[in-house]
């Protein structure tokens, strides 16, 4: 999610290491400090049964975060790398993922050469990274539904975002890119329990790009959390985009299924979205998107979100933005413009003005 950042970088050249054999080859190392600080003021109607709300919100355009990214040249085209990344709540200064979650966004180490990159640790999933370029709003909390298709009626059909205990591979070959991830369940006696799988295939040729992904998360029933009744959660995604120059068009699709060990019916839905970005001037970018979810159960809420955003660059690192969203659901079901909050009415509108700085 840190694409096209201008980074504050410091580099250290390591001329030999203690313990190496005499005359050992020198290695080049660098560490990059990077991050995003983002905050906004939001107005929403139907915020509660009592009425509307005006509130300060963290990370309305992108979640605030900071991180360290390092690489060491090992010779022969082989590199060692690591990344540590922490989410920050700009409203209170706490970690975004809760107390003690220091590097909950990313914490991995790996190796890279011309055949690809392999990492070990906590990481974003193949699906998350591959689908991101095909969301016009770029996973913005205000207002995109690609990560989570809204908390309609308290239900959230989520994209597979991150995995702990993960081994991940990524490679690019002649316009194609392939990614795969396996998350260990770390449950004695069972390789299946709590295990996670993720595969992605992408293609890019000039202005055209496309991607497909498949992921599956096995439940933990009967092991670390016996109360978990989930058998598995499965997702499939597809996305296409075409860059016309000043205008870039994008569209995407998600199939979601959550099955249970019990007699409870599976939760199923399809998500569709379409939109684009228009570079009105080198400093002003306009974005529009429509998200629609087809919920395949008795509620038949089928919510839809219309989103708009104008972003004005004050510099290469600092920008102002104004975003608006309008959500609606069928048959009186509650809906929210937020991807995380449950609504109190079958429509909701929100407007956010914010500022963001990248470093």
**Which token pair is 250?**
């994008």
Is residue 320 assigned to a domain?
A: yes
pLDDT category at 26 given cuts 50, 70, 90 is low
C-alpha 324: how far from its chain's center? 20
The residues with which 123 forms a beta bridge, in sequence order, are 163
Query: Strand ranges (DSSP E) for the chain?
Result: 8-14, 27-48, 51-58, 65-75, 78-87, 106-113, 116-124, 162-173, 176-183, 196-205, 208-218, 230-243, 247-260, 267-279, 284-295, 304-313, 318-328, 347-358
Kindly tell me if the per-residue pLDDT of 44 is higher than 80: yes
Q: What is the DSSP letter of 341?
A: S
The residues with which 289 forms a beta bridge, in sequence order, are 275, 307
pLDDT of residue 221: 66
Question: How far is it, in rounded angstroms, from Cα 245 to Cα 206?
Answer: 11
Q: How many domains does the chain have?
A: 1
pLDDT in tens, 263-316: 889 999 999 999 999 999 999 999 999 999 999 877 788 999 999 999 999 999
**CB-based burial, 119-153: b 16+ in 10 Å, e otherwise:** bebbbbbbbbbbbbbbbbbbbbbbbbbbbbbbbbb
pLDDT of residue 272: 97
Instruction: Find out whether 40 and 54 touch, Cβ atoms under 8 Å.
Output: no
Is residue 151 assigned to a domain?
A: yes
Is residue 84 assigned to a domain?
A: no
Provide the 3-class DSSP secondary structure of residue 236: strand
Cβ-based neighbour number of residue 314 at 10 Å: 11
**CB-based burial, 178-200: b 16+ in 10 Å, e otherwise:** bbbbebebebeeeeebbbbbbbb
Is residue 94 assigned to a domain?
A: no
Q: How many residues does the chain have?
A: 359
Is residue 263 assigned to a domain?
A: yes
Query: Which residue range forms the structural domain that includes residue 319?
Result: 36-60+112-358
What average pLDDT does this structure show over 128-143?
Answer: 98
Share of the chain above pLDDT 70, in %: 89
Q: What is the pTM of this model?
A: 0.89
Question: How far is it, in rounded angstroms, from Cα 351 to Cα 142?
Answer: 8
Nearest 10 degrees: CA dihedral of 51, 56, 60, 63?
Answer: -130
Instruction: Find out whether 4 and 320 touch, Cβ atoms under 8 Å.
Output: no
Provide the 3-class DSSP secondary structure of residue 173: strand
CATH number of the domain that residue 259 is part of: 2.40.160.10
Which is higher by pLDDT, 165 or 27?
165
Kindly tell me if the per-residue pLDDT of 104 is higher than 70: yes
Is residue 5 assigned to a domain?
A: no
Instruction: Find out whether 319 and 312 touch, Cβ atoms under 8 Å.
Output: yes
Is residue 212 assigned to a domain?
A: yes
Instruction: Find out whether 111 and 120 touch, Cβ atoms under 8 Å.
Output: no
Kindly tell me if the per-residue pLDDT of 63 is higher than 60: yes
Is residue 27 assigned to a domain?
A: no
Question: How far is it, in rounded angstroms, from Cα 265 to Cα 252?
Answer: 26
């Amino acid at each position: 999610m840190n694409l096209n950042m201008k980074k504050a970088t410091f580099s250290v050249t390591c001329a030999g290491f203690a313990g190496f054999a005499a005359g050992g080859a020198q290695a080049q190392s660098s560490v990059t400090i990077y991050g995003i600080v983002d905050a906004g003021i939001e107005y929403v109607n139907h915020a509660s049964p009592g009425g509307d709300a005006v509130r300060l919100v963290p990370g309305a355009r992108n979640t605030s975060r900071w991180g360290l990214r390092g690489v060491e040249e090992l010779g022969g085209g082989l590199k060692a790398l690591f990344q540590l990344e922490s989410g920050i709540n700009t409203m209170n200064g706490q970690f975004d993922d809760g107390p003690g979650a220091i590097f909950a966004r990313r914490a991995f180490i790996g190796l890279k050469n011309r055949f690809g990159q392999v990492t070990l640790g906590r990481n974003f999933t193949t699906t998350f990274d591959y689908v991101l370029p095909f969301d016009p709003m770029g996973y913005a909390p205000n207002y995109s539904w690609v990560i989570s298709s809204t908390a309609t009626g308290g239900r959230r059909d989520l994209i597979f975002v991150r995995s702990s205990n993960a081994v991940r591979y990524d490679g690019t070959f002649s316009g194609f890119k392939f990614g795969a991830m396996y998350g260990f369940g770390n449950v004695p006696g069972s390789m299946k329990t709590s295990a996670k799988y993720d595969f992605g295939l992408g293609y890019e040729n000039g202005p055209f790009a496309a991607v497909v992904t498949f992921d599956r998360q096995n439940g933990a029933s009967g092991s670390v959390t016996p109360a978990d009744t989930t058998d598995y959660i499965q997702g499939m995604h597809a996305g296409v985009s075409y860059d016309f120059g000043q205008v870039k068009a994008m569209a995407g699709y998600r199939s979601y299924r959550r099955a249970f060990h019990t007699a409870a019916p599976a939760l199923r839905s399809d998500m569709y979205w379409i939109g684009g970005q228009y570079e009105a001037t080198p400093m002003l970018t306009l974005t529009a998107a429509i998200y629609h979810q087809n919920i395949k159960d008795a509620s038949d809420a089928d919510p839809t979100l219309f989103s708009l955003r104008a972003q004005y660059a004050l510099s290469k690192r600092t920008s102002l933005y104004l975003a608006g969203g309008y959500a609606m659901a069928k048959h009186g079901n509650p809906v929210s413009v937020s991807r995380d909050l449950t609504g109190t009415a079958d429509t909701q509108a929100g407007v956010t003005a914010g500022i963001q700085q990248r470093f």
